[in-house]
Amino acid sequence: MRASEMTKLILLLSIVTMASLPPMAFSLDGDSESGERIYLKRCVGCHGVDGDGLGPGSERLIPPPRDFTSGMFKIMSTAFDGYIPQDQDIYEMIRIGMPGTAMPGWEDILSEQNMWDLVAYIKIFPGFDEEQAGPAVEYGEPIPSSAESIEKGRELFLQDDRCSECHGKDGKGDAIKRLLGDNGERTWPRNLTKPWTFRHSNDQKDIFTRISVGIPGTQMPSFADPGSKKMLSVEDRWHVANYVKSLAKTVRVVNAENTVIKSLRVEGSVPAEVDDEIWEQAIPSSFFLVPQIIVKDRHFTPSNDTVTVRSVFSADEIAILLEWDDRTKSLPGDEDAQKIADPEVLHQDMVSIQLPITVPEGMEKPYFVKGDTENPVNLWQWASGTTTEPQSTSLVKAAGFGTETELATDSLKASGAYESGTWRVVFRRSLSTESSDDLQIQEGIFIPIAFSAWDGSNGESGTKNTLTTWYWITLESESTALPFIGALIALFLVIGLEMLWLRNGAGRRNPST
C-alpha cells in the first residue's frame, strides 16, 4: 500500500518537474571555470574583465556591449514578469550573435560545450547561477500567415498607435521621439522592413516572443503585460507577428554579386522628380554604406546602412535616383527635428555621387575616398536644406580629402523628397558638358561610381559620414544588328565548309567518277 502510494507520488512529482522545464529544454551542463578562460581570451575586449560592459572597445560601439552585472538581457523568452532569461536564450545569442551590432556569433570557432561553459560563467555576474528562470512565454496555437491574418495584424499595429508610435506607420523606425536605453545610450526603434538588422531573427515565432516579452533595457515594451492598455491576446500577437514578417522589403536587399548599375534607355526626357513612374522600370541595385573609419576624423556610430540606386538616360541626359532609409528628416532650425537630434548639433542630411573625371583606361582608378592628386573625382552633392534655406545641389572636384573645390555648373540638378523614413533624391545631368573638369558620359562603357551619405541628426558632417567602395554604372548601348549579322555569316561559312568537305570526301569514295 505505502509502496504504491510512493510510486504515485514519485510519478506525480516527475510529471510536475517535466512540465515546468523550459520547452526547448536541450542544454548541456556548462563548466564555469572553462567558461572564464574562454571569456578572458575572447570577450573582455568588449564586455570587460568584470562583465560590466566597459571593455576597451566599448566606447566606439553603439549599441554598447552588454553589462552582464545589470542582469538585463535583450533577447529573452521568459514570460513578461520574469527577469531571468532561459539558459537557451543566452546560449543562442552567443551561438548566432546579434546582427546589426558588433556582437558576433561564435559557433564557427567555439564548440557547443564551450558555449555552454560561457553561459554558466556569464550567469555568475548577475547572480543568476543561484536563481531559477521563470516560465517561458505561452505560445498557444500559432496562426499561419495569410492575407487575412496580415491585414488583422496591420490594424492592431496601427490601432491607438500601438506599434507605429515608435516604429512609424510603415514600420521603418522613423523616429518621432528620442529613445534612450536604460543606460542612457541612444536606441533606435528597429526598421522592420530590414529583417537582417533584427537582433534575433524575423522568424514568425521569434517576433511573437519579442512582442510578448519586449526588449528589456530598451523602450520596446511587452504586449503581454495585463497592466498595459495596449495589451494583445496570444492570438492577436500571432497576427501582428505575421504582419511584421510581411514588411520585409526584398527588392532592397544587398546582393553582393551585383556590382553594376544598369542605366535604362528611355524615350523623350529623363524624369526630374522622385515619384515619376519611369523609376518602376529601372533596375534597383543596393549597396552597403560603411562608416568613414579610414581617414581623420573617423566616425564610429553610423545610422544609415544601405543605399539603393536606379538610373535612366535619354539621348542627351542621365538621371540617377538614390533612395536610402534615414530615420530622421534633419532640418536645422526646426524644433521637432532638434529634439530627436543626437548630439545636439543638427546638420543637414546630405548625399553625394562620386565619379572619376576621366574614365580609367586600365585598371587604375582614383582612390575610393575622394580621389587622389593624379586621379581627381567629381562629386555630385545634394543637401536637404534648413528652415530658411531650400535644398541645394553642388558640383565639387576633389583630389583627396580636404581638397574639395566647388565648381560652377548649370547642367547638374537635383531634387529630393522625404517620406516616412526614406529619402529619395534624383540627380540629373547632361551626358556631355563643355567643362574639362566634368566627366563626359558615354554609352556602353563601365564607369566607376561610389556614394556617400550624411545623417545630420546623427552628428554627421564633413568626414563623419558613411560611404561605399567603387561600383560600376553602365549605359546600355543601343541594340544593333551586329550580333545577328555575325551569326548569319558564321552560319553560311560553316555550311560552305561542310559542302566543300562533302564533295572532296565523296570524290575519294568513288575515285572512278
The interface mask with ligand HEC, positions 68-97, x = CB under 6 A, is -----xxx--------------x--xx---
In this structure, the chain runs to a length of: 513
Among 30, 47, 307, 399, binds ligand HEC (CB under 6 A): 47
Residue 398 in the binding site for ligand HEC (CB under 6 A): no
Select from 170, 145, 141, 147 the least CA-distant residue to 158.
170
* Sole window of 55-63, 113-121, 153-161, 171-179 interacting with another protein (rule: CB under 8 A): 55-63
Among 15, 272, 295, 315, binds another protein (CB under 8 A): 295
Residue 501 in the binding site for another protein (CB under 8 A): yes
Dihedral-angle region of residue 308 (phi above 0 means left; psi in -120 to 50 means alpha; beta otherwise): beta
Q: Which is nearer to ligand HEC, 58 or 393 (CB)?
A: 58
Residue 468 in the binding site for another protein (CB under 8 A): yes
Among 130, 141, 280, 364, binds another protein (CB under 8 A): 364
Tell me the number of residues near another protein by CB under 8 A: 66
Q: Which is nearer to another protein, 59 or 267 (CB)?
A: 59
73 binds, among ligand HEC, another protein, none (CB under 5 to 8 A by kind): ligand HEC
Distance between CA atoms of 464 and 485, rounded to whole angstroms? Answer: 54
90 binds, among ligand HEC, another protein, none (CB under 5 to 8 A by kind): ligand HEC
Among 272, 293, 494, 502, binds ligand HEC (CB under 6 A): 293
473 binds, among ligand HEC, another protein, none (CB under 5 to 8 A by kind): none
Distance between CA atoms of 463 and 299, rounded to whole angstroms? Answer: 8
Dihedral-angle region of residue 71 (phi above 0 means left; psi in -120 to 50 means alpha; beta otherwise): left
E-assigned strand segments in 94-192: 179-180, 186-187
Residue 46 in the binding site for ligand HEC (CB under 6 A): yes
Residue 63 in the binding site for ligand HEC (CB under 6 A): yes
Return the SS3 of 504. helix
Distance between CA atoms of 196 and 250, rounded to whole angstroms? Answer: 11
Contacts (Cβ under 8 Å, ≥6 apart) of 209: 77, 137, 200
Under 8 Å between Cβ of 396 and 379 = yes
Under 8 Å between Cβ of 73 and 90 = yes
Q: What is the CA radius of gyration of the chain?
A: 30
Residue 122 in the binding site for ligand HEC (CB under 6 A): yes
Residue 253 in the binding site for ligand HEC (CB under 6 A): no
Near another protein in 101-120, by CB under 8 A: 101-102, 104, 106, 108-109
- Could you give phi then psi for residue 492, rounded to 5 degrees? -70, -35
- Cell numbers describing residue 292: 568613414
E-assigned strand segments in 339-445: 350-356, 377-383, 392-398, 405-407, 413-419, 422-430
Structure-derived torsion over alpha carbons of residues 295, 299, 303, 306, reported in degrees to the nearest 10:
10
Among 51, 66, 327, 455, binds ligand HEC (CB under 6 A): 66
Residue 442 in the binding site for another protein (CB under 8 A): no
Residue 219 in the binding site for ligand HEC (CB under 6 A): yes
Task: Catalog residues that contact ligand HEC under the rule CB under 6 A.
Answer: 42-43, 45-47, 57, 61, 63, 65-66, 73-75, 90, 93-94, 98, 101-103, 106, 118, 122, 162-163, 165-167, 179, 187, 189-190, 192, 198-200, 207, 210-211, 215, 218-221, 223, 240, 244, 293-294
